[in-house]
Structure 1
Amino acid sequence: MVKKIEKTYRPKKITSNLYLCMHLCKCSLDYRPLYAYWYYPMERINGLLGNLIMLIDESTRIY
């Protein structure tokens, strides 16, 4: 399945979330427990992206 996705979409089109999902089985065997490896880093990245969007929005406002 992973090879088919990589062949179809090429590495340039694969996002970090999709990449981690494709390798989730291997990661879960390497870095147990899975929730400690998967959940917290992705939540942190989502929070950072949300803050970045708010900063960009505030900097483009015209008063």
Structure 2
Amino acid sequence: MAAAPSSLGEQIREELSCSICLELFTRPKVLPCGHTFCQGCLLDHVGNSKKVWAFKCPNCRQQVMLAPKG
């Protein structure tokens, strides 16, 4: 288990970081389950999925359906 952030700045950085790339969000996208990821990280994740119209959230594995235009 990771150590708890010790300062307010560290807590904020943790909240604003993508759990895929571990960097601050770049063009953040929120999934219906409430998890947020960088747009590029999600595109990479979906690209690795066999079903391009649906994929599972990398954090909670909830099924996410894409709109017709993505």
When the two structures are superposed, what TM-score results if normalisation uses the length of structure 1? 0.29
Name the one with the larger strand percent: 2
When the two structures are superposed, what TM-score results if normalisation uses the length of structure 2? 0.28
